[in-house]
Structure 1
Amino acid sequence: MKVFYSPQYVGATHAFDTTRKAGWIADSLTERLIASVEIVSPRPVSFEQLNPAHSTTYIQAVQNGNDRLLAEGNGFQWSHDLYPMVASSNGGAIDAAYAALSDGVAGSLSSGLHHASRDNGAGFCTFNGLAVAALDVLATGAARNVMIVDFDAHNGGGTADIIGGNTSVIHVDVSVDSFDRHEGSVMVDDAADYLPTCATELSDAIANNDVDLVLYNAGMDPFEKCDIGGLDGITHPLIALREQLVFDACRHAGIPVAFVMAGGYTGSRLSQDGVVELHRMTIATAVDRYACTDIIGGATPIAAA
């Protein structure tokens, strides 16, 4: 299974979990291998690939810092190394999408995506690699319909802004925090309802749509010990069941999946190692539940194990 990563993912001067944790996860994959995982360097996203999702004015602000207020809407101090970082991590999301269409499943250690809207960044997100990847595979004809599944703690209002009325993109968004809420999102405030809600929203969306590719925003910030977004009662085993749910549902429906890392932050109750272990769970689950199947490019669904 291809997992895309480059040291440029962590190249920005501004030091925060979103600009550093891809490196932590990559280091862990070198030190403690997950069988069948191949780390692959992505191609940086081009202006032409960004522009369908983001305005020229905003892209240029991030590139050259000519409008600092606009360029720093993500919450990071602008520097010349910001654009190479987000160009690489967003390129990884695109490459993971095409790899999944070819191989059945793939991932990227990208994060900081779903709050970025067409004209600005927000909430530690600069460019919206979920929307960028979806629009790219649609434009090239590699897919006819794409589903974005967002199980980050926070809502993906930036994604909703970009995809707008595009009927070729289905947006499933289950959150536990009201930040960046949009009309199509579903918010859960009781941990007992979390997994059933994720299951219902995902299964209904799969049943009611013809989907060629799922882009999965695998947020770990719903975890109860995460200070930014965590909900009491959402435990490590519950997150593990959520990951199994996503990959099993897509595998049984014959839908390729490309995943990215999304939220998950160190704090008073969650160490760097703890964040890494949560994100490794997505990768390991993808291998365990999905990567060894023969689903390629929306093949015939296979029977449940």
Structure 2
Amino acid sequence: MLTTYYHPGYAAPIGQHIMPIRKFSLVADGLRDAPGIKLTRPEPVTESDLQRVHTAEYIAAIKTGEPRDLAQSQKFPWSPELFPSVCLTNGGCLAAARQALRDGASAALVSGFHHACADHGEGFCTFNGLVIAIDALVASGEIRSAAVLDMDLHYGNGTAQLAESRPYLFNLSLYGNDFWDNFCYRDVSERHHADGANHVSFSLPAGCDRKALFAIMDQALPQLAERKPDVILYQAGADPYFEDPYSPLALDHDDLRSRDRRVFEFAKAHRIPIAWVLAGGYTSDVSKVVRVHLNTFEAWREVYGC
């Protein structure tokens, strides 16, 4: 049984927006009768959990809406519902990571919010749920180390910056768009991220197909095994899909399902617990984004035999 964390309170009112926030409820609807899947409501993270990662000034801005530029630095319109919604989504990420330690695998129908930095948000990301979950588990003594495997289309600049001061966190990113200062660089030949001691990246060139992706994954994934993390948090992005308006890649639904299957095969072979979140995806037909995410669950079922 795969415990999957979902709460209808994940969705804050953001109006007409390129980020299809209703996709999480659509994915939940698609999983309700799926064999081997248990939908469970998480508890929100506490302010203490947030304070390990984010500054007091930034947390206060998200709670109160002031200063407004800071409260909307992630490019969402601020509302009083924003703070409780992001506490719930981050709670889902933390609950999934904790559940994976018990069961070997778990999921949360949330984004990892990998662009969020310590003192501001970026790229539709408010609080960095990936790092918040890892810091909470380290603080409680449940883990000593963790890895983020980020396969969203966009480079997770917030997670990389936060990793710099966290030697117990290894961030491995395979990306097709670099992302800095709230700006997306579509062509990785134009701008490429500089790696650090505990954040390593592999860029996916324009036109990247399944063969090229798998060759890069074969280079990248062994670095996770070398680090021997207690848990992997997997950012399973839908935006590498070839119809996504941001994507220069040549990956279809079956390619992304095969990507996910390869990730789960790796985690299972190395006996590393894995929790995943559903990141990205801006195709105008939201059903195609939902299909990418539902295929991630199918890939898990194929590998783990549930």
The TM-score with structure 2 as length reference comes to 0.89
Spell out, residue by residue over 1:202-242, the C-alpha distance to the aligned partner (whole angstroms, 9 max, x if none). Answer: 12321x112110000000101111112x2342122211111
TM alignment of 1:136-285, pairs within 5 A: 136-180=136-180, 182-184=193-195, 185-189=201-205, 190-192=207-209, 193-206=212-225, 208-228=226-246, 230-267=247-284, 271-285=285-299
Residue 96 (structure 1) shift: 0.3
Q: Percent of aligned positions with the same letter in both sequences?
A: 32
Residue 174 (structure 1) shift: 0.6
Residue 198 (structure 1) shift: 2.2
RMSD: 1.5
Spell out, residue by residue over 1:6-34, the C-alpha distance to the aligned partner (whole angstroms, 9 max, x if none). Answer: 0111133444335321111112223xx22
* Paired residues of 2:243 and 2:283 also in contact (CA < 8 A): no
Distance 1:144 1:291, change over 3 A: farther
Aligned to 1:22: 24
Aligned residue pair count: 285
Residue 112 (structure 1) shift: 5.6
Distance 1:290 1:183, change over 3 A: farther
3-state SS in 2 of match to 1:191: coil
Q: 2-side partners of 1:284 and 1:210: how far apart? A: 26
Q: 2-side partners of 1:4 and 1:89: how far apart? A: 9
Q: 2-side partners of 1:136 and 1:77: how far apart? A: 28
Q: 2-side partners of 1:188 and 1:13: how far apart? A: 31
Q: 2-side partners of 1:152 and 1:45: how far apart? A: 24
> Which of the pair is proportionally richer in strand?
2
Structure 2 residues without counterparts, runs of 5 or longer: 181-191, 196-200
* Paired residues of 1:199 and 1:245 also in contact (CA < 8 A): no
Structure 1 residues without counterparts, runs of 5 or longer: 293-305
Equivalent position amino acid for 2:202 in 1:
V
* Paired residues of 2:97 and 2:233 also in contact (CA < 8 A): yes
Spell out, residue by residue over 1:242-265, the C-alpha distance to the aligned partner (whole angstroms, 9 max, x if none). Answer: 101100000000000000001111
**Alignment of 1:6 onto 2:10:** no
Aligned to 2:183: none
Spell out, residue by residue over 1:81-103, the C-alpha distance to the aligned partner (whole angstroms, 9 max, x if none). Answer: 01111110110000000000011
* Paired residues of 2:14 and 2:76 also in contact (CA < 8 A): no
Aligned to 1:300: none
Q: 2-side partners of 1:60 and 1:256: how far apart? A: 34
The TM-score with structure 1 as length reference comes to 0.89
Distance 1:15 1:90, change over 3 A: farther
Q: 2-side partners of 1:54 and 1:15: how far apart? A: 28
